[in-house]
Structure 1
Amino acid sequence: MTEMPSIPSVLLELIAKYLQRNNISNFQLDELTKQYAHQSRMPLYKWWNLLEEIYQQHPTPVLGHYIGELAEPHHIHILGYLALSNPDLNNFLNCFKNFQPILQNSASFSIVQKEDSFCMCWTPVVHKNSQLSNEVLISGVLSTIRKILQRPEIAPLKIEFSAIAPADTTPYPQVYGCPVIFDSEVLRLWLPLEILHLPIPSSDPYLRKLLDQQAEALLNTIPNPDTFLKDLQLLIVNMLKIGEPSAENIANQLNMSLRSFYRKLSTYNLQYSDLIKNIRSELAKTYLTKSALSLTEIALLLGYAEQSAFSRAFKHWEHVSPSEYRKTHFLA
């Protein structure tokens, strides 16, 4: 079953911030803020409708850009924490491929590299599209990249919007400082290739604390782990962040053949599938009890494509749902 297209409800903060700066009040925003105050996500169509209403109330050319540029790393949840903790932009974008559904799940994401540029691409998976929402996304991503790299001068090379062109397209090249085209089959943000390996100078204490908790949780998965098992556990945790870690990939990372890897595990009386399950279980319990991460974020950190798959697995392990477990064990 396909999940309803949705976005993090925290993004309502961007609109609230924009309206406050311009001394504008909006009843629909107030109602949505109340409605989703205790929910991590909101339907995409409500976001689109709100943007349209704001535009009708306050018709500003390229309105979505001025909302999106207010984005801070925390507006993209775990993506922001990962961004601040990665060594460079290239590493972060590899994480972004997997975690992008947190930002919005109405498009599939990919990266294309050319000789002197690279492109972040969003291919729509819903028929309808919203120019205002695309503007918020592009400007929000640009703002986040500039802030995590601490390089406000970074400029796009070209932007291709996948929505129908607005009546007046003349302000767009001036606002974005690059060529802008419309009616593209894919939403594309082109950037200089050289920024891919720029270092990310900041660190994030929240994520650092979380990673410390990860290490503690790992030590609980196997009694008295030796160097091989510690290395293996840490490798699995890192690979979970970018998807399902196959035994083949793990063996390659350890410079072992798959057969040798399985033989090595057998000396510890371990099955690979059991090891993955134990690590996921311990990390899930740590995230649920010692962090404020949403279930969607936890699912993606554990290598699940959807929250529902994580919830089913967790209930199988612990005989209660993740939400029930958090209610009775949360330590803060």
Structure 2
Amino acid sequence: MKLNTFAQGFVSSAYMRILFEYLKNQGIDASKLLNEPTPDEVDRVLIRYPLQRWVSHLQCAAARLGDPLLGLHLGKTVTPAHFGVIGYIFASCPTLGASLLRLQAYQRLIQEVEQGALEAPIIDGSDLVLKWPAGSSGEHGRLHLEFSMATLLQFSKCISSKDVEWKQVSFINPGPSSPNGYRDFFKCEVLFNQAVTSIRVPLHSLTVPLKNPEPILVALLERQANEFLNQLPTENEFVMSVRRCITSQIHEGEPELDSVASKFNITPRTLRRRLDQCDTSFRVLLEKIRQQLAKQYLLDPTLQLSDVAQLLGYSEQSTFQRAFLRWTGLTPNAYKRSV
């Protein structure tokens, strides 16, 4: 069994709640359609879903609904309440500009996409430009990108005291045969096949006051959000690259130090030394990746334990079960019952 290997990453549990709500309103049992347990109604900031799973669910829902513009239609239903603490931070700022500038600071609590993080906002003439590089490009990422941009637009509408003007929306993906649906939705110029996904907002729009500015509340909520950020894993670029390499090889069997080192054109000894300088090791990274993936795969009701063991590069199911018990103190089946 082999999984698709597009951009790695995670999205907030809020995304899944939004999709479930939308499908329910369309008269569809989302849990049955997606083979996914219904997410908690209460916001769980640190509960995240693998990007690959989220994109797969979007594609499944779009096919069931016969709606190629599902990303836009889904984004139109978003409210600050869906995102809990983060949503209320954005909604309680004094102006739209203050809210948008916080987007980069807290984006990891919303979505974390490999090579797709929001870059620092830049001023270009009379516009503010927000750019997302190619982390979720390609057809597999189209619905996700469109949902993300639609969510940002809808969020701005919800929290602003008057209509906000957007100047341009650009997508890295190829455009449809008829882009009218996009132009009607965003009410501005929409470009496709661009180098990056981006939005342009006139600088004067940044001064639009929000409906409910609460500076004291923002300060309190930001302390809480920063605590959440501190609980997310952080690694330097080299370690992240090694993690990606291990992850890409793990479905084919147990990754070897030599094969990973060859991908970086360095010797195994050099790889071992550089990881040691980062206060980690190849074995530690492999164990962490397996543990993280195991917890994700065990939530998939379509996978048997033998499938999970194979996806993690174990030749025997019993070896995986012993490793999982060592990591968590629970057997895989006990873990599945506990979540």
Please tell me whether the aligned partners of residues 92 and 218 of structure 2 are also in contact (alpha carbons under 8 angstroms).
Answer: no
For residues 139-150 of structure 1, the aligned pairs below 5 Å read 139-150=150-161
Residues 173 and 83 (structure 1 numbering): CA distance in 2 closer, same or farther, change over 3 Å?
Answer: same
Give yes or no for the alignment of 1:298 onto 2:305: no
Offset at residue 54 of structure 1 (A): 0.9
Residues 155 and 15 (structure 1 numbering): CA distance in 2 closer, same or farther, change over 3 Å?
Answer: farther
Structure-2 separation of matches of 1:160 and 1:209: 31
Structure-1 separation of matches of 2:234 and 2:71: 34
Amino acid corresponding to residue 17 of structure 2 in structure 1: E
Structure-1 separation of matches of 2:146 and 2:137: 18
Structure-2 separation of matches of 1:118 and 1:33: 38
Give yes or no for the alignment of 1:134 onto 2:138: no
Offset at residue 309 of structure 1 (A): 5.2
For residues 177-256 of structure 1, the aligned pairs below 5 Å read 177-203=187-213, 208=217, 211=220
Offset at residue 8 of structure 1 (A): 0.7
Residues 18 and 188 (structure 1 numbering): CA distance in 2 closer, same or farther, change over 3 Å?
Answer: same
Residues 83 and 116 (structure 1 numbering): CA distance in 2 closer, same or farther, change over 3 Å?
Answer: same
Structure-2 separation of matches of 1:204 and 1:31: 37
Residues 177 and 34 (structure 1 numbering): CA distance in 2 closer, same or farther, change over 3 Å?
Answer: closer
**5+ long unaligned stretches in structure 2:** 1-6, 236-339
Q: 1:20 — aligned with what?
A: 24
Q: 1:83 — aligned with what?
A: 90
Moved more, 81-90 or 99-108: 81-90
Give yes or no for the alignment of 1:33 onto 2:33: no
Q: 2:72 — aligned with what?
A: 65
Tell me the matched-pair count.
222
Offset at residue 49 of structure 1 (A): 0.4
Structure-2 separation of matches of 1:209 and 1:182: 36
Structure-1 separation of matches of 2:122 and 2:95: 18
DSSP-derived class of the 1:14 partner: helix
Give yes or no for the alignment of 1:108 onto 2:117: yes
Deviations 1:282-327 (A, max 9, x none): x7xxx5xxxxx7xxx5243xxx5x72359xxxxxxxxxxxxxxxxx
DSSP-derived class of the 1:130 partner: helix
2:182 pairs, out of 172, 186, 194, with: 172
Amino acid corresponding to residue 143 of structure 1 in structure 2: Q
Structure-1 separation of matches of 2:29 and 2:178: 26
Residues 209 and 142 (structure 1 numbering): CA distance in 2 closer, same or farther, change over 3 Å?
Answer: closer
Deviations 1:169-194 (A, max 9, x none): 34222232222221222111222221
Please tell me whether the aligned partners of residues 12 and 29 of structure 1 are also in contact (alpha carbons under 8 angstroms).
Answer: no
C-alpha root-mean-square deviation of aligned residues, in Å? 3.2
Offset at residue 126 of structure 1 (A): 5.3
Please tell me whether the aligned partners of residues 168 and 190 of structure 2 are also in contact (alpha carbons under 8 angstroms).
Answer: yes
Give yes or no for the alignment of 1:122 onto 2:143: no
Residues 172 and 32 (structure 1 numbering): CA distance in 2 closer, same or farther, change over 3 Å?
Answer: same
Amino acid corresponding to residue 7 of structure 1 in structure 2: V
TM (normalized to structure 2)?
Answer: 0.57
DSSP-derived class of the 2:169 partner: strand
